[in-house]
Amino acid sequence: NTTFFFYNLIPTASSIAPPAPTQNPCPSGYVSWYKNCYKLVEEPKTWEAAQVACEQEGGNLASIDMSYDQAFVAGAILQGKADAWIGLRRKDDSSSYKWTDGWPVFFTHWGPGEPSNHKAEGCVSMHADRIFHGTWNDTDCNSAKAYICKTSSGRSYSAFRSIHIP
């Protein structure tokens, strides 16, 4: 003797309203990641001109604080398109570096043999090519490259407003 149970598998209307769609907290063209917003700008600029352009949008060249930020920026933002400036720059006549937004440098992702700290190479870009994808390189600040802007809620300020590049 077998007993069968049949359940109503047809969806029924619910009295619970679906959640409202989430709004992107970032400006147009930016991608949200945690409490930050990132954008790759493919129009090549020098490092300083790129920083000024990011400041005009309320941000800075991107600082990268942790490995998961690095993975996100390299994968989702850079996408292998072109080497791009990030917000790291060598301090004058030094081998130490500083982020444009003032955050301490406690994470780095240098490529092999980098930073070379050659006198003419004081600004940092992220590699886009397959072999060194996402690694960092100190390079000539006057080179024109794509760049990555970052805006952050409550922590966007510039430590590089008056840069003089000889």
CATH number at residue 59: 3.10.100.10
Would you state the pLDDT for residue 141? Answer: 96
Burial 31-63 (b: 16+ CB within 10 A, else e): eebeebbbbbbeebbbbbbbbbbbbebebbbbb
The structure tokens listed for 164 are 């003089």
Q: What range does the domain containing 91 cover?
A: 31-152
165, part of any domain: no
58, part of any domain: yes
Would you state the pLDDT for residue 152? Answer: 81
40 confidence band (pLDDT: 50, 70, 90): very high
Nearest to 82 by CA among 74, 70, 90: 74
161, part of any domain: no
For 90-147, give the DSSP string. EPTTSS-EEETT--------BPTT-----TTEEEEEE--STTTTT-EEEEETTS-EEE
**Residue 44 clears pLDDT 60, i.e. is over it:** yes
**Residue 13 clears pLDDT 70, i.e. is over it:** no
The count of structural domains within the chain is 1
Nearest to 91 by CA among 77, 104, 81: 104
160, part of any domain: no
Weakest mean pLDDT among 37-46, 48-57, 91-100, 109-118: 91-100
127, part of any domain: yes
Tell me if the pTM is above 0.85.
Answer: no
Would you state the pLDDT for residue 135? Answer: 95
96, part of any domain: yes
Could you report the per-residue pLDDT of 53-89, keeping only the tens digit for each? 999 999 999 999 999 899 999 988 888 789 999 999 9
112, part of any domain: yes
142 confidence band (pLDDT: 50, 70, 90): very high
**Residue 20 clears pLDDT 70, i.e. is over it:** no
